[in-house]
């Protein structure tokens, strides 16, 4: 009998990922990134070896479908600051929806990061990087940056299930007149009623609705001309 032979050919180039790249800026302005705050993480730092800080032992919980604020503080001139999150845990930050622009600033910048509803439960790496804005408006859009005048830090986000009642989002005001406006929003789940609290800006919510059980949109009337108002929306998912 003859022998059956199978031959497999590999076409290069190819590579195997064994871990995350390590950014290595050649220099840093003053202390670079000096504080990162997100969830329960509030980490104040100074210049790290290699201008990179591995703080992945610091973990904060985030929920699917819920946005979380990331605050970054820098020292020295204007820094362009980006954040990356490896939502699919493939050891890189190259996929769509994994890059966030925190901003260009000399003190503190804040960005709201929406946690994808499809993000897998468990730990995901968060990388934050900033560099002197004089080097170009997109620096350091590369999470593996090895240029000059930059600083990078890594943290861990632990994704947990969404709450039973997801908050609404994308609040809008339209059809504005001198005495009324239509308030709208995007439902966070299957709820059909909402509670509203509103007042003259700056308004601090109390948690007690101004009106309850309203539908979307809601016509807010009785306004005073040339006055700024703020409103808050809470989903009514039944029960308590």
Furthest CA-CA distance within the chain: 96
Same domain, 99 and 125: yes
Say what the pLDDT of residue 240 is. Answer: 66
Phi, psi of 11 (to 5 degrees): -105, 125
Pairing state between β 32-38 and 67-75: antiparallel
Mean pLDDT by 10 residues, the chain (240 residues): 48 56 89 95 93 96 94 88 96 94 92 94 96 62 87 97 89 94 91 94 93 95 94 87
Does 178 lie in the same domain as 89? no
pLDDT tens by residue, 163-188: 888 889 899 999 999 999 999 999 98
Query: Where does a domain end: 119, 137, 160?
Result: 160
CA gap 70, 81 in Å, rounded: 11
Q: Reduce the DSSP state of residue 213 to 3 states and report it.
A: strand
Domain boundary among 143, 160, 177: 160
Pair (179, 150) in one structural domain: no
CA angle 93, 97, 101 (to 5 degrees): 80
Q: Could you list the residue range(s) of the whole structural domain that residue 188 is in?
A: 169-236
Sequence-separated (6 or more) residues with CB below 8 Å from residue 172: 183, 184, 185
Domain boundary residue, one of 114, 135, 160: 160
Q: What pLDDT is stored for residue 18 in this prediction?
A: 56
Q: Any idea what the CATH number is for the domain that residue 195 is in?
A: 2.60.40.10
Domain-located, residue 18? no
User: Which residues lie closer than 8 Å to 181 by C-beta, 6 or more apart?
Assistant: 173, 174, 175, 219, 220, 223, 229
* Residue 223 sits in the same domain as residue 116: no
Supply 79's token pair: 């820094």
Count of beta carbons in the 10 Å neighbourhood of residue 11: 5
**In a shared domain, residues 103 and 195:** no
- Asked whether residue 225 is assigned to any structural domain, the reply reads yes
Same domain, yes or no: 182 and 152: no
Say how far apart CA 27 and CA 21 lie, in whole Å.
Answer: 18
The answer to whether residues 40 and 151 belong to one domain is yes
> Which tokens is 123 given?
């730990």
Burial class (CB in 10 A: 0-12, 13-18, 19+), 33: buried
Contact 195, 212 (CB under 8 A): yes
User: DSSP label at 47?
Assistant: P
Count of other CB atoms within 10 angstroms of residue 159: 19
Contact between 80 and 109 (Cβ < 8 Å) = no
- Domain match, 120 and 188 both: no
Q: What is the CATH number of the domain that holds 48?
A: 2.60.40.2950
Domain count, the chain: 2
Nearest to 218 by CA among 233, 239, 205: 233
User: Is the domain of 155 the same as that of 56?
Assistant: yes
Going from the C-alpha of 213 to that of each of 32, 163, 217, 221, the distances in angstroms are 48, 20, 12, 17
Distance CA 156, CA 41 (A): 10
Asked if residue 117 and residue 88 are part of one domain, the reply reads: yes
The gap from C-alpha 4 to its chain's centroid, in whole angstroms, comes to 55
Indicate whether 21 belongs to any domain. Answer: no
């Amino acid at each position: 009998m003859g022998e059956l032979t199978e031959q497999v050919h590999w076409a290069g180039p190819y590579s195997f990922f064994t871990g995350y790249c390590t950014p290595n800026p050649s220099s840093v302005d003053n202390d670079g990134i000096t504080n990162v705050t997100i969830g329960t993480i509030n980490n104040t730092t100074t210049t790290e070896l290699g201008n990179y800080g591995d703080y992945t032992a610091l973990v904060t919980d985030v929920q699917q479908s819920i946005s979380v604020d990331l605050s970054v503080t820098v020292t020295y001139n204007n820094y362009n600051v980006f954040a990356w999150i490896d939502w699919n845990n493939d050891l890189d930050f190259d996929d769509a929806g994994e890059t966030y622009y925190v901003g260009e600033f000399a003190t503190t910048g804040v960005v709201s990061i929406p946690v994808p509803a499809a993000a897998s439960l468990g730990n995901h790496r968060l990388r934050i990087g900033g560099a002197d804005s004089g080097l170009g408006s997109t620096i350091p859009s590369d999470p593996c940056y090895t240029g000059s005048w930059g600083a990078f830090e890594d943290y861990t986000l632990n994704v947990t299930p969404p709450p039973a009642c997801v908050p609404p989002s994308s609040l809008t005001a339209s059809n504005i007149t001198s005495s009324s406006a239509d308030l709208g929003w995007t439902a966070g789940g299957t709820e059909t009623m909402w509670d509203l609290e509103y007042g003259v800006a700056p308004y601090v919510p109390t948690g007690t609705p101004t009106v309850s059980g309203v539908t979307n949109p809601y016509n807010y009337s009785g306004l005073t001309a040339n006055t700024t108002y703020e409103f808050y929306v809470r989903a009514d998912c039944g029960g308590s």
